[in-house]
Amino acid sequence: MTTKYKPGVSTNSGLLHDKLIRRIYPGLDWKHIEDATLPFKLWVLAHHIAAADCKSSLSCAVAVAVKSLTSELILPIVNKRVTFFCFPRTLRVVRYMNPPNLRKQIISMDETGKFDPGLYVLLPPIGSDKLGVTHAHARQPTTQPRLPRKQSEEARSWAKLVADAELAQKRVPRAKRRKTG
């Protein structure tokens, strides 16, 4: 999906996801990325966690569980917020959103190496998380004028030094002001 850039509007076009997937799997020419339409239930068990690597989006506990479930037909990429299922036969990529409990477990796995086994449900994107949705960031008009920002003591002293230096450059010494005659 290609969109023109408009100031004040950001588009969730999937271009960053496309670059990420092409960097991880460079040999395949992926057709397109699409959003999932149904949730995906996934059991992460102790043997998946034991076979997982920390700080790896291709072999974390969730990725190992998906690979064991689908017998290597799906190439998963697991990030903190999004999980991609890459299908090499059809060159399709399906995008799921990670629920908050799974996000916490992914962060815990990366930091401490611990992951709680259990049932996790990968969710289809909703609302503004869907691909192709535009977000308008228009500022609401106000009736009051904006107040100037408060400056720190260091910034005020620096501004005073700069103002004094500029004033000193404008002043001409007395000796040059007098006419000699």
Token output for 76: 């998963």
Instruction: Check residues 172 and 165 and name the one with the higher pLDDT.
Output: 165
**How far apart are the two ends of the chain, measured CA to CA in Å?**
81
Residue 14 burial (CB < 10 Å; 0-12/13-18/19+)?
buried
Which range, 84-88, 92-96, 117-121, is most confident? Answer: 117-121
Token output for 7: 């100031």
8 Å CB contact between 50 and 38:
no
Is residue 15 pLDDT above 90, yes or no? no
Is residue 6 pLDDT above 50, yes or no? no
Confidence of residue 116 (pLDDT cuts 50, 70, 90): very high
The radius of gyration of the chain's CA atoms, rounded to the nearest angstrom, is 28
8 Å CB contact between 32 and 92:
yes
For helices 61-70 and 100-112, the axis angle rounded to 10 degrees is 110
Angle among Cα 18, 88, 75 to the nearest 5 degrees reads 75
8 Å CB contact between 94 and 34:
yes
Domain boundaries in the chain?
9-136
Instruction: Check residues 136 and 59 and name the one with the higher pLDDT.
Output: 59
**CA–CA separation, 58 and 53 (whole Å):** 9
